[in-house]
A and B are shown apart, each in its own frame.
Chain A
Amino acid sequence: MDWLTTVDHKKIGILYLIAGGLFFLVGGLEAILIRIQLIKPMNDFVGADTFNQLITMHGTTMIFLAAMPMLFALMNAVIPLQIGARDVAFPFLNSLGFWTFFAGGVLLNISWFAGDIPDAGWTSYVPLAGPMYAGGHGVDFYLMGLQIAGIGTLIGGINFMATIINMRAPGMSFMRMPMFTWTIFITSALIVFAFPVLTVGLVALTFDRLFQANFFETGNGGNTVLWEHIFWVFGHPEVYILILPAFGVISEVISTFSRKRLFGYSSMVFATVLIAFLGFMVWAHHMFTTGLGPVANGLFSIATMLIAVPTGVKIFNWLFTLWGGSISFTSASLFAIGFIPTFVMGGVTGVMLAVAPADFQYHDTYFVVAHFHYVIVGGLIFGIFSGLHYWWPKMFGRVLNEKLGKATFWTFFIGFHLTFFIQHFLGLIGMPRRVWTYLPGQDFDTMNAVSTVGAFLMGIGTIIFVINVIVSAANKSPVADDPWEDGRSLEWSIPSPPPEYNFKQTPLVRSYDAWWNEKQKGNAEMPPAEPVGPIHMPSPSILPLIMSIGLFVAALGFMYDHLVVAIAGLVVTFGSMFCRSVFDDHGFHIEPEEQEKGVHA
């Protein structure tokens, strides 16, 4: 019950991790099924329809319900601690954001039980996703599920931007913020400016499907390329929303385990901002073959290649941080070091795809599949694994087992390259993506079999990680505040796990790498910026959960044309908003005596 009403950002982080982790397993299972189907030519393990549903749900689940929530888990667990804050700016909204994401995710996945599964691809291109070719309610689940989950994401973005701007500890200037905080700040800005575009796209397609509007109905003057523009104006920044936090994690982990200050900190900050800006400018490189014309293709081609410059700055800064450092190869640092060459390969194929004339050749082949899995799995998922191993003691007060962690790394790392490296060549010799089977004798057979074996290895790596989590939960030995002994930022200056108020006294930040610096000066704790006093805390609330359930019910009502159900759901949601507005939440105070007893989260 405590977990349903919590507004503590550390607990919400754990909720995000559990929910995102479950969806990661679901999406992984879908991937395994896809690879089993493709293990040999003319396979009939799943039918063509099921295959379409699997690839659609795999992509949608992994991007929106696994990767983003796991990033939100790390954000929630770490950001307020890194900036020396007692809480996020909007604890109530933080909880609401989690529950709307969860409601949206559940809504998408009950499509498997409703028998109407989205099958138009994660990009949901029209007219394939329009009422003409996608009858039934499959695509409606996609539209409604993402719409509700998107509310949660937008709330999270606003919340973390406001938190980082307004709630930094005294002395924590922008250019003293840890790199992870910087990347989350920029990511949050991308969320705020990209997600509303998706909202409009989803609304337009929903109107087309449910109310016979004509945004994308070419027969009535609609325009299908409009969907592509809207989707990718959102979709391209989305890949930077995913990758920038991974860059932040890698920066923290590499600097900690090299025992060195991050090389070129200010150029890292500048590179992050530049990548985010360029990320917004290049959406049409997803549409080179749509017929935009040579001028547009040329401009978007060059703009896309420009992104390689700040990304290269980052790569070299990581290498120079490692250079001459005394590196300890923990599981976290293995994932971070494995990330570097893997992500470089994904970046290089990205530049290849950015060459518009060459793209006509690679377009819709397995080369593209290999490219985006290299950046998203090899970049983001490696980053998440690295961050989880790194911050696990801070989140749960237990260290993950190093032997199992290394086993996770090696099986996942080898499995990953086995699966996707070979897909570049499958693409180059002409295997199209999104096909559910292929004929024998086209040189596709062996490479597909190898790819499937790799997928199983990744599955095994994930299972080892789950075992590691269970083993560490059973291991009761307490963890030091700074278990790696080389912690550099503020989160390592307080107990693991932190008390619910984070900092008994707001710390005074005197330099970049604040905690490392105090340790160098021989100090055992951060200098306080305020005297000990009562700490104001927000009260827990059940309303976020109720509001999300209301939206969930309303979505089902709209989809199945039960107006009464839809209105009832909306009444529940708006009624909860009304209650929230009318009854003030004054919260409560934790007095100094109680702080001594150590109230733990």
Chain B
Amino acid sequence: MTLAVLLPFVMAALCAWLARPLGRRTGYLAALAFVPALLLAAPLAGSSVEPGGTALSQNTPWVPELGLNLVFRGDGFSLLFAVLIGVIGTLASLYSVAYLSPRERFGRFYPYLLLFGGSMLGLVLSDNLIALFGFWEMTSVTSFLLIGLWHTRSEARDGAVKAFLISALGGLGLLAAVALLSMAGGSTLLSELDLEAVRASPLFVPALLLTLLAAFTKSAQLPFHLWLPTAMEAPTPVSAFLHSATMVKAGVVLVAKFGLIFGSSALWAGIIVPLGLATLFWGSWRALKQTDLKALLAYSTVSQLGLLMALYGLADAEGRFAATTHLLNHAAFKAALFFVVGIIDHETGTREVSQLSGLRRKLPITFVLAGLAALSMAGLPPLGGFISKELFYEAMLHAGPAFIAVAVLGSALTLAYSARLVAIFFGSYRAPVDDGGRSLKADVHEAGPGLLLPPALLAAGALLFGVWPQSTEWLTRRVGAALDFAGYGGHLYLWHGVTPALIATLITWALGAALVWQSARVYALQLRLELPISSNGGYRALLRGLGTFASALITRTQGLALPDQLRITLAAAGLMGGYAVWRAPQVFQPFGTLPPSVLPIAVLLVAGAMGVLLSRNRLTAVILTGLTGFGSAAAFLAMRAPDLALTQLLIEAVTVILFLLVFQYLPGIRDLPRRRSRYAVDVVLAGASGVGATLLILASLRFLAPPISPYYLENAYKGGGGKNVVNVILVDFRGFDTLGEIVVVAVVALAVGSLVRLGRRGRAPTETDTDRQSPNRTIPVRPINNQPSPTDQEVRR
């Protein structure tokens, strides 16, 4: 299993490397990466996933202390899904070989596709919650890369960004959810969570809601469905792989797996089932309106995902049984349809419904495949889709009358848009033309075997699932132990007698037929009912609003004069720091007896500070600062730090000299008085900072851990050969740190030198030049002729 997950990542690098010599044949190499995933079919078929059997588990330690290990656990559901990913991934890779233009950048396409495949396999197999989140995010990122593959199109960029923003939002939700779950359940392993503790924990409801946010964003449920249609900018093989069969089902997988944890709560089904059904209805309603075949399939996927969500969300054995069956069927027929639409696009040059008719004369094999897959999608016998729809109706009948009504309506719409899709094959053939009336393709003919084989296999699967229900049931039963419906006694039949579900089906067919019969009127009605608000418009408005808000916020807080910015920053920091200090335990020891030497030092320090505050001109201020500096050096002496005192004295002297040097260039202008309106604010801020610093020190006087200093005292002479421990620490134990410090000082010296040299060459402005301007007006910058001209240098030589 670990191999199945990791091999695609390795092969991705290999494909990137070999793409240039291999060209489009890289696809064959890419297909090999999914072989281990396909081989997982063996344990799936074996006895290990039966009830009572132990699930496979492989543990690769990584950071065991934090519970971060790559644990892959193969129970029936994970294995089934992994095999599904393997199958569709292989087919998509092979299909791409024939589909993509020879000029495509294969060095990007296949590595992205394999990175995605590996992430998706990791997502379904991972038992570690943190790794699960990691793989989840990786699927978001790779999806972004694949949608944006043709990044020269603005639609592709928009689609990629939109998909990423929405899935990443959900990803953050998942991160929080898994953190809460592992806190409440006492383990980072999904299979080892203490379910009782989780259900009793106060974190249960937040974790549930966050999980739902993740699942809904990833699986394009209302109101997050808008990214899936725009994701159709990706190349068609990608759409088939990511946006129909695998990635978008990640949310469904999450709901299926976590339903065993959260299903006990009424909130779980209460949110998922209505939203899922609403998505089912809305997706199919929108799909019927589309004129682009790929957009039609995209909305169809949205609606089918809603159906799966609703079934898994029921959180009972019946629902999970039905959903798993439908999951298989949907993967088969939807991926097949995407491949078929790819063929149509490839052979005719258009995907517009209005442009296409009578294709069965030109593309007979494609017609058969499309027909099979569309029948399954519409839920007509004898195909797999019919069987799983019956199960869906059964489950919804048990849920209540409103639910079954929505389900029937959605399925009727599904039937109608399936019919629209198939309609392009009937009628008389017309050559598709572009806007100017010129023919798009000179010679429309059937696609080659490379394009036909993948959808043929999938369509055969869709047919097999229907005419031989035992096969589907056997596959579904493999999941029984993992999803806890092993005891459910349902079976799959094409004909199961006259039941309420069958009656609902008949109503569906009648409705669907009526929709098809009156399709022109329905279409007109749909156009009339166009809502004034669209989710895409909402998305744009949200982004724009966010931009405006950010811009306004930055302008109000950062676009000010420097002191005002500092005031805001300090106030914010003060509020946060103040809260922390207020919460911390205070340790105030009375001054007690002080050594007499300390008092003059204190006086020196305070006198210097007060003097600077009261001083009227800069020279005084600098000299008084020096006073504080010497006080500080004296304090170091009192603190038994002779080295520090020496250094401080030296630095103090050099600093004062530096200031005086600078004053040579700054004509002695008076201090600028502070604005009156700011005076009180500054006093408060300064006072708060001081009090905060004092409290911080008082709160930090407790040792949280034993000091490490004895080590230095013991080893200074043995290891460093010096008796001055402070020096040995600096040049020996922390030598590289000191090297860095020396580099910093050297860089500063260079900067100071060059700046001073520039100043020498510049004309120092006189007092008449100093213009006092109000802030927020641009200052005219005087050009300064400071570049030594080449002739200058010549002369010097």
Is A bound to B? no
B residues whose Cβ falls under 8 Å from a Cβ of A:
none
